[in-house]
Amino acid sequence: MQIVILDGHAANPGDLSWDALRQFGRVDIYERTAPQDTVRRLRDADIALTNKVFIGADEIAQLPKLKYIGVNATGYNVVDLDAAHRRGIVVTNVPAYSTMSVAQCVFAHLLNITNQVEQHSQLVNLGEWESCPDFCFFSPTLQELDGMTMGIVGLGNTGTAVARIAASLGMHVLALSSKSQEQLHTMGISKARDINHLFSNSDVISLHCPLTTETHHIVNADTLALMKPTAILINTGRGPLVDEQALADALNSGRIYAAGVDVLAQEPPIDDSPLIGARNCHITPHTAWATRAARRRLIDTVVDNVRAFIAGKPQNVV
């Protein structure tokens, strides 16, 4: 059995190990793979493992030995599923490995915005506290989360984790979810009547819904216009959930207060990405999933997925 990892650096920049895969056969690990090298590197592979390297219909047609594609991530849009299924190739993903890491990132952004951690640290390093004539040195716009309303779009694993943390901080939780009010009530969550109700009544909105044709640009000029001028938007979900130009305009005009985003519509961003440099917009480079603990769980599940496939009982099939 030959296993090829096309972009091992994505999940393991060197602090973890792929060695557990070697029990199944030969393992070739490439740190990165350019599109033109995909077919050549997979030509003799039975199993392909990829995080972001695309394996489409053209590649699959040139890989007669390929039996299994493991996506080393939750999203699996890097594989042409129709082409894979026509060939009888099993495709799996890794669900729910980063739930708590992503939830933690939501509050890293939110607490940075409300407590202005980064801003105050920079001012101290610039000597502003030393030269301040007053004992008290702080921004008058510091905010307390207790009593605020957290609006959550999507109550899957991560959305539910965010709701739980928000409640522990004294926030009211309002959710746009397919779950019934009875289900949400037992979780201490109120059900939003519709998207307008959620956006107009939330102090903080956090996005955790899948990217579909219905949710593409769910944050747009119209929904942003419903938000309070003091509101904060957090996006650790998918970049295209947000119309980035509309968000930049809302931030720059003071229509809403701030945004914390870990994902962009194009990654890495293009030079003229409207959110880069937008007022009070805090951007991290898609790191929410990437804690060491989450990446370890990811690799462990990749190994388990391969083991299950070889045993004839594939799991996490998409």
- The domain locations on the chain are 2-95+292-310, 99-283
- As given in the structure block, the two tokens for residue 147 are 């009593």
Which homologous superfamily does the CATH classification assign to the domain defined by 2-95+292-310?
Answer: NAD(P)-binding Rossmann-like Domain (3.40.50.720)
Burial class (CB in 10 A: 0-12, 13-18, 19+), 142: exposed
pLDDT score of 126 more than 80: yes
- For residues 62 and 66, what is the distance between their CA atoms, to the nearest angstrom? 9
Q: Which residues pair with 317 in a beta bridge?
A: 92
Which CATH number is 99-283's, of 3.30.365.10, 3.40.190.10, 3.10.180.10, 3.40.50.720?
3.40.50.720
Tell me the percentage of the chain whose pLDDT exceeds 70.
100
Q: Give the separation between CA 186 and CA 76, rounded to whole angstroms.
A: 33
Q: Which residues pair with 152 in a beta bridge?
A: 175, 206
Question: What's the chain's length in residues?
Answer: 318
Residue 294 banded pLDDT, cuts 50, 70, 90: very high
**Intrachain domains 2-95+292-310 and 99-283 with the same fold:** yes
pLDDT of residue 169: 98
pLDDT at 34: 98
14 contact partners, CB below 8 Å, separation of at least 6: none
Predicted confidence band of residue 186 (pLDDT cuts 50, 70, 90): confident
Quote the pLDDT of residue 265. Answer: 95
Question: Left, alpha or beta for 158 (phi > 0: left; psi -120 to 50: alpha)?
Answer: alpha
Average pLDDT of 118-123?
Answer: 90
Contact of 295 with 288, CB cutoff 8 Å: no
Tokens, residue 36 = 């033109």
pLDDT value of residue 270: 82
Count of other CB atoms within 10 angstroms of residue 281: 20
pLDDT at position 272 is 81
Report pLDDT for 140. 87
Structure pTM? 0.91
pLDDT tens-digit series, residues 57-97: 999 999 999 999 999 999 899 999 999 999 999 999 999 99
Tokens of 307: 């083991």
Query: What's the pLDDT at 267?
Result: 92
Q: Where are the alpha helices (DSSP H) in the chain?
A: 8-11, 38-42, 57-61, 81-86, 99-115, 117-125, 157-168, 181-186, 195-201, 221-226, 244-252, 292-310
The Cα-based distances of 74 to 31, 56, 101, 237 in angstroms read 20, 18, 14, 12
Q: Can you give the pLDDT at residue 271?
A: 77
> In this predicted structure, what is the pLDDT of residue 181?
87
For residue range 220-269, what is the model confidence (pLDDT) as tens digits? 999 999 999 999 999 999 999 999 999 999 999 999 999 999 999 999 99
**What pLDDT does residue 293 have?**
98
Tokens standing for residue 1: 């059995």
Task: Decide if 245 contacts 274 (C-beta within 8 A).
Answer: yes
Task: Give the catalytic positions in this structure.
Answer: 238, 267, 286
Beta-bridge partner residues of 150? 173, 204
